[in-house]
Amino acid sequence: MKKTVLITGASRGIGRAIAVAFAKAGYNLVITCSKSETELLHLKNDLERDYSVDVLASIGDISDFEYVTQLFSHIEQRFHGVDVLVNNAGISYVGLLTDMTIDEWNHILGVNLTSVFSTCKLAIPHMLSRKSGKIINISSVWGNVGASCEVAYSACKGGMNSFTRGLAKELAPSNIQVNAIACGCIDTQMNACFSEEERATLTDEIPAGRFGMPEEVASLVLTLAEGNEYLTGQIITLDGGWI
């Protein structure tokens, strides 16, 4: 029987690479995004055509608990539940904290952190019934050390890291593993805001001498999903030795 994975923020970048990796491994997929409907539907069609997997694509605001509840209702009807949950959806805000509005704060917190609460809350019952499951949260090195002009983003990812550790302890007796990957500079659209000069400066700071690739994150996610059941509560840094 095929396992099912839910990947949030799957239309591009890291999320898309994760979806491809799981499709290659033969999983059924649930993929979501908030705005990039055309890209998400193209991905669904590509995965179904190339890997003969069943894909449920959903467009909606992952920070909205009602939307997540409806999503899980569709998942239960189609797949009965999810065996692997990958919380990848995320947005950034670059700027001084004093320039940030309360609405901007609430929005980034909702997408980056509240969504993790919502998806985990609704995914766990099925995992508990099977005494098996994997939850993998896509975090950032800024959740470990903080970043100037990305205070809200850092706070969200730091919260995700603590959430990961706490939930891992809560679910370990039920054979459900919860881990996070703290990514460094990954070559995605989110980091396309950097100028060539800024990219060169960042690259010089990374011992590996380059940005990471989305496929490298995806490979680690799949390894965690299929790997060691004693590995839980870990924040695994993937940054080329940068931080």
What distance lies between CA 99 and its chain's CA centroid?
A: 27
What CA–CA distances, in Å, run from 22 to 28, 67, 78?
8, 24, 18
Cα-Cα-Cα-Cα torsion 166, 159, 128, 78, nearest 10 degrees, comes to: -170
State yes or no: is 153 an active-site residue.
yes
From the number of C-beta atoms within 10 Å of its C-beta (0-12, 13-18, 19+), residue 215 rates as middle
Q: Annotated catalytic residue: which of 67, 93, 153, 230?
A: 153
Distance CA 153, CA 91 (A): 8
Tokens of 20: 């491809």
**Residues acting as catalytic residues:** 153
